[in-house]
Structure 1
Amino acid sequence: MPTVLRFNGLRAVIYPNDHRPAHVHVMGHGCEAVFNLHCPEGPPELRENFGFSLKELNSIESMLAAELPTACAEWEVIHGQP
C-alpha cells in the first residue's frame, strides 16, 4: 500500500488492488477515513470515517484539497486514469 501523502502525523495511501473511483485511505492515531478525490478538479469528499473527529476530518479534507494534483497523479500511476 503506497503512501502518497504525509501530513499532521497521518498518511494517505492508495491500495494497488483497489477499485474506482479514485480515492485515498487516510490513516493515523488509530483512525481511518476514506476520501473520494473527484480527480482532477476535486473537491475531495468524505466517503467513510472510522474514528476521526469532525475537526480532524475538516483538516484532512483541506490538506487533501491542497494536495489534490499530487494525489490524483499518484492514483493514475497506480491505477491508470481516474
Structure 2
Amino acid sequence: MPTVLTMFGLRVVIYPNDHRPAHVHVQGKGYEAVFHLNCPDGPPQLRENYGFSQRELGKIAAALVKNLALLCAQWRGIHGYF
C-alpha cells in the first residue's frame, strides 16, 4: 500500500487494487478516514471516519485540498483513471 503523503504524523494511502472514484485513506493514531478526492478539481469529501475528531477532520481536509493536484496525479499514476 503506497503512502503518497504524510502530514501531522498521519499517512495518506492509495491502495493499488482499489476502486473508483479516486479516494485516499488517511491513517494514524489508530484511526482511519476515507476521503473522495473529486479529481481533478476537488474538493475532497469525507466518505468514512473511524475515530478522528471533527477538528482533526477539518485539518486533514484542508491539507488534502492543498495537496489535491499531487494526490490526483498519484491516483492516476497507480490506477490510470479517476
Give the TM interval when normalised to the shorter protein.
over 0.9
Q: CA–CA distance in 2 between the matches of 1:15 and 1:81?
A: 14
Unaligned runs of 5+ in 1: none
Offset from partner CA, 1:31-63 (integer Å, 9 cap, x none)? 000000000000000000000000000000000
One-letter amino acid of the structure 2 residue matched with residue 42 of structure 1: G
Matches within 5 A, 1:1-82: 1-82=1-82
**Deviating runs (4+, > 6 A) in structure 1?**
none
Q: Normalising to structure 1: TM-score of the pair?
A: 0.99
Per-residue CA deviations over 1:14-43 (Å, capped at 9, x if unaligned) read 000000000000000110000000000000
Structure 2 CA distance, aligned partners of 1:50 and 1:81? 27
Q: Percent identity?
A: 63
Partner Cα distance (1:4, 1:71) in 2: 7
| CA RMSD in angstroms, aligned pairs only | 0.3
| One-letter code aligned to 2:43 | P
Q: Secondary structure at the match of 1:64?
A: helix
Please report the TM-score for the alignment, with normalisation by the length of structure 2: 0.99
